[in-house]
Structures are given as C-alpha cells and as structure tokens.
Amino acid sequence: MAESGELIIEGLLTTWDRHDCVNLSPMGARLNALGKGLQLRPFKTSRSYTNLMETNSGVFHITDDVHLIARAAIGEVLPMPELSVISGTTAYRLKDTCRWYLVALDAAEEEGPRATLEMKIKTSGRVRDFVGFNRAKHAVIEAAILATRVGILPDEEILHQLTVLEPWITKTGGIQERDAFVLLKNTVGEKMNNSDRLRQQ
C-alpha cells in the first residue's frame, strides 16, 4: 500500500550489467512526493535486481505503450526496442517513451523474496505527451500482471478476471490494446496447459 504523499506507477525499467547487456522489465515504482526519489521492489531472482545491485543504476520509464509492457511481462523482449544513451552518462533509456528517470541505488533492504530498493533520481526527461486515459490500456496492464501470476493464483480466478477485463478492450481499445490482450490471453493459456501436463506426468 502506498504511504501518504506517494504514488505507485506501473512502467518499464531498463537495467544493464557491467558488459552493457540491457534488460527490460515491467516494474511498479513508488514515486516520492517531492520528486527526488523512487522505490523499486524487484524479486531477488530477477535480472533487474541482479543488474541494479551490480551497476547501482537503472532508468524507469512512464509510457503508454501497453503492448511493450505486455511483451516485457511475459518474457525477454526480442528484438529489444530502440535505445538511447542519456547524454553525459552510460545509461540506457527507451527512445520512445513519455518520461524517463535515471536513478541510482541509495539504500537496499533485502529481507524476503523481494528487495526494497530506495533509488535517488539523478536526472529525468520528457520525450512526448502521454496519449491519455483509456480503460483498455488499464485492462492490458491488469492482464499483464495476471499473466505473471499463473501458478501463484488459482487458474479459475485468473480466467475470471480476464473475462471481466475483455469488454474494456473490445469497447475502448485500439489495435495496440487488442493485440496486447490477445498475446496475454494466449500466454496465460499456454502456461496453464503446460502446468496441467506437468501435473499429469
């Protein structure tokens, strides 16, 4: 739960290792009300966590590209979208995004399966306007989260929630949102089928 004066935003995080191999992952960030820092809570088994601990840096993006968020939620994004190096740094950001924040590790709490990383905002930038609020975009974000919960939540609950979300896509979504939702539904179905086969072996 967000504390008073803080806002949790779903976005995309670029991190990189010491060999400049870039990773892209969806991430919820808790933004400080003063705009000086944000908090990330990656799983300690993730490449995002490994890279952040190795290089102490990352770039958090606010974007309306829900298709890219969906792709990042279900696995490694190939090919990687076009990147830009932030001027005066060796940090990588998405070329197409709305806003970006270059962050540096300030403090880490590593108890439990997820680390709590306090990140200081070093610099930020705006690339283009956010397209606007849309129920279909929100539905894709929720579906992307559900796709990562297969095997954690009951299958029936996930399928029910996808059914509830689908009218938002058909009524208010464009091509990007419709394609992303189909991709996520197919991925959920494949994961569930694979789990069923493993249980039957």
Q: What is the CATH number of the domain that holds 107?
A: 2.30.110.10
Indicate whether 2 belongs to any domain: no
Query: Which residue, 86, 107, 126, sits at the end of a domain?
Result: 126
Indicate whether 181 belongs to any domain: yes
Indicate whether 47 belongs to any domain: yes
Q: According to the model, what pLDDT value does residue 199 have?
A: 62
Expressed as residue numbers, the domain containing 28 is 7-126
Indicate whether 1 belongs to any domain: no
Query: Which residue, 78, 104, 126, sits at the end of a domain?
Result: 126
In tens, the pLDDT along 57-88 reads: 999 999 999 999 999 999 989 999 999 999 99
Residues 112 and 17 grouped into a single domain: yes
In tens, the pLDDT along 83-127 reads: 999 999 999 999 999 999 999 999 999 999 999 999 999 999 999
Environment class of 184 (CB within 10 Å of its CB; exposed 0-12, middle 13-18, buried 19+): buried
Residues 116 and 153 grouped into a single domain: no
Residues 103 and 166 grouped into a single domain: no
Average pLDDT over residues 6-29: 94
Residues 6+ apart with CB under 8 A from 27: 10, 11, 12, 13, 40, 42, 48, 60
Q: According to the model, what pLDDT value does residue 170 have?
A: 97
Query: Which residue, 126, 158, 188, sits at the end of a domain?
Result: 126
